[in-house]
Amino acid sequence: MRKFELIAPCHFGLEAVLKKEIIDLGYDVTLVEDGRITFFGDEEAVSRANVFLRSAERILIKVGSFHAETFEELFQGTRSLPWEEFIPSDGKFWVAKAASVKSKLFSPSDIQSIMKKAMVERLKGVYHVSWFEEDGAPFPVRVFLMKDEVTVGLDTTGESLHKRGYRKLTAKAPIAENLAASLIMLTPWRGDRILVDPFCGSGTFPIEAAMMAASMAPGMNRSFTAEEWPSVVGKRNWYDAVDEAREMVDLQIETDIQGYDIDDAMVSIARENAKLAGVDKLIHFQRRPLSQLSHPKKYGFLITNPPYGERLEEKSALPALYKEIGERYASLDSWSMYLITAYENAERDIGRKADKNRKIYNGMMKTYFYQYMGPKPPRRQNLPDGR
């Protein structure tokens, strides 16, 4: 079975979460950089990483790397890579995305155009043709330039891994599924603990939590670009990965996961998305304003993405909203609260400094993940009969 060097991009600030996921999946991490993890794996690893990783953006097969400060060096470096080991004569290939940081070459369109020409030149010599129909399987390429070092990868995923396939309907400003999953994994929450999202929108936090509780792999119900590359990743690997995922699912578990929203339409959307994800029986969605947030039990978790004033007219309402968040949290007995927001005065208006504060980039937007830690619940004592 072929061995690959694989690259998994992720949200900036969440590299440690993805690194742990990859190690837990059984693979050796070789490099941790801002926004991406590199690890070794075989054909099976390509399919399993796509199906099982919750926090990754996509999985790339590293084709090669080289130094380039001029377009001529970019052309020659690209042409020297072994494209024929991956792309057949009828393959459709293009540079889908180019990103450049602190490099002399910085124009994405020029980088994409020159690399495409170099790939054509290489493959013309290998396949002895002067023209490619490109009517076969797609082979999108992604390239990163960092301080003039060029890293080139083939995108095995296609649509970003945050697209699990369940969210057909969304809120105005939905949180990405992989970001929501990553944030949950940063907390001590487990499936047997209480979780409430008082600003659930289209239901992403509760749905991702329910999928985790049920051991449901995030990619088991979607397709991937590399499924069309049987000469690179054999089809049996995809079947095996999905079979493995299906065997792990446990929908008989008991959960206390709740999502509230003030908008009836959002509650309906969240319910439909949960149904599409197959976890609707594990979540209770309800129309409920923040002012009615309460729970009789101790040691629960608030995990949420409250409004943070994307529109100018909403900003004036934020101090009162965050003050109310603080008040409702204070009324919950021994709970923890985790919230992600770009609102800079969140701690001031909540009325309490967070125990931890983590900077995370949501796309290009700088946000903060405020972590208010409640006490740990007491350990369960064994009963006399050994239970």
| pLDDT band at 328; cut points 50, 70, 90 | very high
| pLDDT band at 65; cut points 50, 70, 90 | very high
Range list of β-strands (E), the chain: 3-9, 29-33, 36-42, 60-67, 92-101, 138-146, 149-155, 194-197, 256-261, 283-287, 301-304, 336-341, 356-362, 365-372
| pLDDT band at 199; cut points 50, 70, 90 | very high
How far, in Å, CA of 199 to CA of 223, rounded? 30
| Contact criterion met (CB below 8 Å) for 145 and 111 | yes
Q: How far is CA 364 from CA 11, 227, 342, in A?
A: 10, 31, 11
| pLDDT band at 207; cut points 50, 70, 90 | very high
Question: Could you tell me the residue ranges of all domains in the chain?
Answer: 3-155, 177-217+231-372
| Contact criterion met (CB below 8 Å) for 207 and 263 | no
Work out the percent of the chain whose per-residue pLDDT is above 70. Answer: 96
pLDDT at 243: 98
pLDDT exceeds cutoff 50 at 385:
no
Quick: pLDDT tens for 111-145.
Answer: 999 999 999 999 999 999 999 999 999 999 999 99
pLDDT at 308: 86
- Class in CATH terms, 177-217+231-372: alpha beta
Joined together, the tokens standing for residue 38 give: 């590199």
The pLDDT mean for the chain works out to 95
- Phi/psi region, residue 315 (left: phi>0; alpha: psi -120 to 50; beta: rest), is alpha
| pLDDT band at 374; cut points 50, 70, 90 | very high
- Class in CATH terms, 3-155: alpha beta
pLDDT exceeds cutoff 50 at 387:
no
Mean pLDDT over 161-170 rounds to 86
| Contact criterion met (CB below 8 Å) for 93 and 221 | no
pTM > 0.85: yes or no: yes
Mean pLDDT over 344-366 rounds to 94
Quick: pLDDT tens for 175-186.
Answer: 999 999 999 999
| pLDDT band at 362; cut points 50, 70, 90 | confident
pLDDT at 162: 96
Mean pLDDT lowest for which of 259-263, 282-286, 377-381? 377-381
